[in-house]
Chain A
Amino acid sequence: MSSHLSTAPARKRTKRLSWVLAATAASGLTLQAAYAQPVQVLEAQAVATMPGQTVGAAYLSLVSPTRAELVLVSSDAAKRVEIHRMSMQDGIMRMRRISSLALPAGETVRLAPSGVHLMLFELGRPLVAGEHVQLEFVTVDDRGQRMVTHARTPIVKAAAR
């Protein structure tokens, strides 16, 4: 009887301990997952500028393993990189700057012509097809964790629409 009384709290303790262990393991796994699978930058390409053109554009896809937000982009080739949303309605082209871009967990978010894209302002040098620019993406996930992802981005020739 006494043994039973003494084992009950012990069992409870064990249970609590296993919960703590499980939680630690889980959070460890999440952290590990976050570190093992950083935000991916896929198919990034910057468009070669035409002579006289002082702004550039870049297109790519982003995949974040956890829900995150793209809050800042920078480049070695430009003073400022902005996220813009282009829309076409009734033959009218409009571009608006957006301050951040939501990255739902595991979803591929495409930054493409005629949609959300990157604008490179005050280029330090012309963007020449065949060369590369560095792009740096700062994302912040749900837990406020900041992550920086770099992408060496090839420059490609502009295409006719």
Chain B
Amino acid sequence: MRKKVERLLITFPTTADAIRMERECEKRAIRGRLIPVPREISAGCGMCWCTDPEERERILEFLEMLGLRKEALYQCMV
């Protein structure tokens, strides 16, 4: 198995919100990608945005500015 590293994960209420996040990050050249939600966060299915923890402030800022819906932010080993 690959080695785990610390990442910032953002979960969303719907798939559409997750894709909207991806599209908005693309526009701002924020690195990251959508990944399956790890079990530490949720036992359900779904996708979350996975990025560098250092992007936290920048992401929080534009989420707020655009009124994007999110469920929660997590910092964990992925």
- Tell whether A and B belong to one assembly: no
Residues of B within 8 A of A (CB): none
**What residues make up the interface of A, taking CB atoms closer than 8 Å to B?**
none
